[in-house]
Structure 1
Amino acid sequence: MPLPSGGTWPPQHLNPIYQHYSVLDAWYRGDPDRLADLYGDPAAHGLPANRPSQYRGGILGKAARWFWGEPTPAGQKQAKVHLPAASDLATMGATLLYSEPPTITVENAATQARINDLLPSLQAALLEGAEVGGALGSYYLRSVWDRAVAEKPWISAVHADACVPEWRHGRLYAATFWRIIQQDDTECLIHLERHEPGYILNGLYRGSPGSLGDQVPLTSRPETKDLSPVVETKLPRCTAVHVPNMRPQRMWRHYPPGAPLGRSDYDDAIIGLMDKLDETWTSWMRDIRNGLGRIHVPSSYLQSQGPGKGAFFDTNREIYEAMNVLGGDDRMEISISQFAIRVQEHKDTQAEILDAILRASGYSSQSFGLHGEVAQTATEVSAKERRSLTTRGVKGLYTIPELQTMLDMHLQLEVALGFSPNITPERPSIVLADSVVPDMLQLAQTVNFLRQAEAASDETLVRMVHPDWDETEVQAEVERIADARPKPAPDPFALPDEMTGPDSGGDPGTEGQDGPQTPESSR
């Protein structure tokens, strides 16, 4: 299928999804000005305080009635404060999955060596993709190569709001990735990169924001001058995969038909809670500002700076002259205002809202260090973070099959294009690393009990202690353990074999001819 000749971009039928991406992106970025602009703060648009949108129904009315949709009163500066819970959730999800590199194994030694070379950059791409995917609900992996920057192809992550996917039977058939090279108020340069079975297509367009406009030569820009309009991959499928964060996507189960879109860690219901969290945090900060001590003095105490220049009160002055006031009262009429700061009330409310956000997102409070709890051992960590580890396991179910497909396809691409002719592509086995490091003392005790009970072999115990070792390292360690084990001492009370032993003097072939001999007769 060729690249589009122009028109609206992204395509019109995807507008609801991209609008939702815009909301999720604003919370992920955590910029208060961006949130205020998104939810219609009149300070960003020069609108009056009373807005008709607050009385509407639907999404617009709901957003306008939220905390971030409330207008800033005239004459006041923006005082709303954002607590970055959304970005923390996305980072936590990615860390649980890929803080340690996954174990990727194949049978062919040359292919395994190539995978080991890919692993460091692949882990970085997975960390980036999983974090943004936690925010937007999905991310994509694609194969990229450029001999000017690397000798061989690599795998990169693409964010969900930079891709227009095409689906067949609930699976990715083709994907068009896009990036804005240059943009101003009137003109926009957009590069499209379409991955489809057998080919990768490149196109450059000069249009306006939201519209592709006319296609221009790739050589007209330095960012695209080295790209070919058509690249033949020689593969029966597109060189990209879609990795969902979680499923199902509650908002878009039937739109568009057959699209298996992923679910964000903070879809609509959780965004409402994060809005309330920001309202609580802003109220707490306002209490701190209001709690600043202030003094009030009569105007007669002020020192004039001259006609038209105002007056001031010197708080560092130590001596004041007695002043004659009406009634002969020389009292110093200085008063202090000090408002209380409701620390505990705000702290408790904030903790309850955070707990609700974490429960809805599938994470444990321990993962975010709430309630001051500190786990000492791996067993305690696993118990306290059970909900987070369960969510990590569910995300892994959606990630591993797509990652296996991507690596298999990527290896096939390297062979087809001549980058790695000596490898044999195969679908790898992938195991995500355990995010909880085992407690060595507890592991040693477990191994010792298994050995005493003779319930496991040396090889099994070595694999338990060193799960990251390959077959050669395991067998070498088993041999070292066997060599270091002391040889059994002979039994000093055992009698030698009278018939065949060195002291018997008999012929083994004549056993039984003269009958059994007693110890006395042998002596």
Structure 2
Amino acid sequence: MPLPANGAPWPPPELAKLYAEIRVDDAWYSGDHDKLAAVYRDNVLRKDGRRRLWARDRNVHPGKRDTRLHIPLAGDIATASADLLFSEPPTFTVADTAAQDRLDEIADADGIANTLIEAAEVASALGGVYMRVTWDRALADRPLLTVVHADAAVPEWRWGRLAAVTFWHELASDSATVWRHLERHSPGRVEHALYQGSPDRLGVRVPLTEHPEVAALADSLGREGDSIETGIDLLTAAYVPNIRPNRRHRGSPFGRSDFGAPLYDLFDALDTTWSSWIRDLRLARARLLVPDGYLRDHGPGRGASFDDDREIWQLLNIPPTEGGGITLSQFEIRVAEHAQTAEAITRQAVRSAGYSAQTFGLGDQVAVTATEVKARERRSMTTRDKKVRYWAPAVADMLHVLLMLDRALFTPSLVVERPQVEFAPAVSEDPSSTAQTLALLSQAEAVSTETKVRALHPDWDETAVREEVDRILAESGRTVPDPMQAGALV
């Protein structure tokens, strides 16, 4: 599919429902009060007649402050998902030594580990994310790995695989005109276009030089005037679904969010619970009920006023002889009921999202071994393992593209191959537990010195392992010369 024609509706109508769902996911993920209120005001007239906490108009009573409280559980779920995947950076390996050095250099200089953890958090919230390889000679002497959010892309699928994709974003404008930059990636080519339109229409395509944010791209375009040849036959973008299938769009290649529609009710209930809890705190402020006969008159014409934030006393128009004079009034705060309700909702929400309660600090927090942690967080580990199988091929593909572009543009002598991606363990083994395990295996004569060194230092290369084994054998007096090399037989 080529770039859109002039006047096309935007975003494309076929993605309108998906974009609307992502908008709600984004509101919960951001935790922004205005976003939450906006998405639910737009959907307040539901067929089932439900009204959520965030569907209530905060401006019904002018001057009254908004007392709704939001708990950012959706953002916590997205962060936990990213942490489980990439809190420890994965390792990228290729066979060629020079290519490995260049890959390490690019990964370190470009902060690819940070890019991946950002992408994983966005994918958890929005159902998927795009990775894109690009370059800018004025900025860096290497290709760059970047992230594009799911609601800023129009994908083209073939047999459930990404065949091409158009990324877009709105540019700055000082008028009612909406400027959009479209960037279409297909195998071997990247096309750029600038459109001048309205909020719901793409408008007219104009030269890139018409807007300062993209004017510099005009010098990079090829002879056809709208595209850049990449010099490789691979797609310079990849889509990573958070997890499949998408239950709201069965059969589609799009991933589903970690929370989405099934958890909206729980998020809203959690906010309602906490808002009620804080309301109890406000209502429970101690007040003294004071007959107005006890107070001094300020004189005629002075008027009267009421302090809504008065903490100690409250004026009542009652005779001093009724009710025993000054009375203390204080409501009960239902701490236990609110706390238990909030914890129950949180547990159900994280379980429905595919994680264990312990991942979010719920339950016993005593020190345990890595094996016990894995057992307690089995549900989280299972979800992580499923996501790894989506991430590993996409990351390897993009690193392969990155190396191929590096050879085509910056390092002609580079030997390119598709890297191997290995994810770090989600839970690091406790050193004392590892030492105890190795001691028991050694006592049973079931493990060699080399195996023990590799188990203790899994990040060491072959040379470092061999040197450490030789030192251990020499220090323990177990290095015995080969008798066949002692001298000539007589």
TM-score clears 0.5:
yes
* Other-structure match for 2:304: 310
* Structure 2: distance between partners of 1:305 and 1:177: 70
- With over 3 angstroms needed to count, the CA separation of the structure-2 counterparts of 1:215 and 1:304, relative to structure 1, is farther
Q: SS where residue 437 of structure 1 aligns?
A: coil
- With over 3 angstroms needed to count, the CA separation of the structure-2 counterparts of 1:316 and 1:208, relative to structure 1, is closer
Provide, for residues 275-310 of structure 1, a one-character-per-residue CA deviation record: whole Å limited to 9, x for no partner.
111111111111111111122222333344451442
Select the residue among 331, 339, 344 that pairs with 1:347. 339
Select the residue among 97, 106, 111 that pairs with 2:94. 106
Provide, for residues 5-64 of structure 1, a one-character-per-residue CA deviation record: whole Å limited to 9, x for no partner.
33112111110000001010000001122211211189xxxxxxxx8x2xx52xxx46x5
Cα displacement (A) at 1:446: 1.4
* Other-structure match for 1:365: 357
Q: Is the 8 A contact 1:139 1:160 kept in 2?
A: yes
Cα displacement (A) at 1:2: 3.5
Q: Is the 8 A contact 1:105 1:428 kept in 2?
A: yes
- Superposed, 1:370-449 pairs within 5 Å as 370-416=362-408, 418-449=409-440
- Superposed, 1:476-491 pairs within 5 Å as 476-487=467-478
* Other-structure match for 1:129: 119
Cα displacement (A) at 1:316: 11
Matching of residue 81 in structure 1 with residue 72 in structure 2? no
Q: SS where residue 172 of structure 2 aligns?
A: strand
- Superposed, 1:248-327 pairs within 5 Å as 248-254=245-251, 259-306=252-299, 307-310=301-304
Select the residue among 79, 83, 97 that pairs with 1:91. 79
* Structure 1: distance between partners of 2:232 and 2:418: 15
Query: Please, which runs of 5 or more residues in structure 2 have no aligned partner?
Result: 313-317, 482-488
Q: SS where residue 214 of structure 2 aligns?
A: coil
Q: Is the 8 A contact 2:134 2:236 kept in 1?
A: no
Provide, for residues 236-291 of structure 1, a one-character-per-residue CA deviation record: whole Å limited to 9, x for no partner.
2320000111111111124xxxx411111002111111111111111111111111
* Other-structure match for 1:231: 228
- With over 3 angstroms needed to count, the CA separation of the structure-2 counterparts of 1:242 and 1:41, relative to structure 1, is closer
* Structure 1: distance between partners of 2:55 and 2:336: 27
- With over 3 angstroms needed to count, the CA separation of the structure-2 counterparts of 1:335 and 1:396, relative to structure 1, is same
Q: Is the 8 A contact 1:110 1:422 kept in 2?
A: no
Select the residue among 238, 241, 246 that pairs with 1:244. 241
Amino acid of the structure 2 residue aligned with 1:447: L
* Other-structure match for 1:39: 40
Indicate the structure whose relative CO is greater, using CA pairs within 8 Å and at least 6 residues apart: 2
* Other-structure match for 1:13: 14
The Cα RMSD (Å) is 2.7
- With over 3 angstroms needed to count, the CA separation of the structure-2 counterparts of 1:484 and 1:285, relative to structure 1, is same
Provide, for residues 186-223 of structure 1, a one-character-per-residue CA deviation record: whole Å limited to 9, x for no partner.
22111111111110011111111122111222122232
Matching of residue 469 in structure 1 with residue 463 in structure 2? no
- With over 3 angstroms needed to count, the CA separation of the structure-2 counterparts of 1:311 and 1:73, relative to structure 1, is closer
Cα displacement (A) at 1:439: 0.7
Select the residue among 178, 200, 216 that pairs with 1:210. 200
Amino acid of the structure 2 residue aligned with 1:28: Y
- With over 3 angstroms needed to count, the CA separation of the structure-2 counterparts of 1:238 and 1:37, relative to structure 1, is same
Matching of residue 65 in structure 1 with residue 51 in structure 2? yes
Q: Is the 8 A contact 1:122 1:155 kept in 2?
A: yes
- With over 3 angstroms needed to count, the CA separation of the structure-2 counterparts of 1:216 and 1:488, relative to structure 1, is closer
* Structure 1: distance between partners of 2:12 and 2:353: 31
- With over 3 angstroms needed to count, the CA separation of the structure-2 counterparts of 1:329 and 1:335, relative to structure 1, is closer
Q: SS where residue 284 of structure 1 aligns?
A: helix
* Structure 2: distance between partners of 1:117 and 1:27: 37
Q: SS where residue 363 of structure 2 aligns?
A: helix
* Other-structure match for 2:160: 170
* Structure 1: distance between partners of 2:368 and 2:440: 22
Question: If the length of structure 1 is used for normalisation, what is the TM-score?
Answer: 0.83
Amino acid of the structure 1 residue aligned with 2:469: V
Structure of higher CA gyration radius? 1
Q: SS where residue 215 of structure 2 aligns?
A: coil
Q: Is the 8 A contact 1:143 1:154 kept in 2?
A: yes
Q: Is the 8 A contact 2:196 2:202 kept in 1?
A: yes
Cα displacement (A) at 1:397: 0.8
Query: Please, which runs of 5 or more residues in structure 1 have no aligned partner?
Result: 43-50, 318-324, 491-506, 509-523
Q: Is the 8 A contact 2:171 2:180 kept in 1?
A: yes
Cα displacement (A) at 1:380: 2.5
Cα displacement (A) at 1:235: 2.2
* Structure 1: distance between partners of 2:440 and 2:372: 21
* Other-structure match for 1:513: none
Cα displacement (A) at 1:102: 0.2
- With over 3 angstroms needed to count, the CA separation of the structure-2 counterparts of 1:164 and 1:299, relative to structure 1, is same
- With over 3 angstroms needed to count, the CA separation of the structure-2 counterparts of 1:86 and 1:184, relative to structure 1, is farther
Instruction: State percent identity of aligned pairs.
Output: 45
**Alignment length (residue pairs):** 464
Amino acid of the structure 2 residue aligned with 1:68: W
Amino acid of the structure 2 residue aligned with 1:65: R
* Structure 1: distance between partners of 2:386 and 2:287: 55
* Structure 2: distance between partners of 1:212 and 1:298: 69
Q: Is the 8 A contact 1:375 1:381 kept in 2?
A: no
Q: Is the 8 A contact 2:473 2:479 kept in 1?
A: no
* Structure 1: distance between partners of 2:388 and 2:443: 36
* Other-structure match for 1:159: 149
* Structure 1: distance between partners of 2:5 and 2:276: 52
- With over 3 angstroms needed to count, the CA separation of the structure-2 counterparts of 1:475 and 1:292, relative to structure 1, is same
Q: SS where residue 39 of structure 1 aligns?
A: helix
- With over 3 angstroms needed to count, the CA separation of the structure-2 counterparts of 1:222 and 1:476, relative to structure 1, is farther
Cα displacement (A) at 1:66: 2.6
* Structure 1: distance between partners of 2:161 and 2:31: 32
Cα displacement (A) at 1:85: 0.2
Q: SS where residue 147 of structure 2 aligns?
A: strand
Q: SS where residue 370 of structure 1 aligns?
A: coil
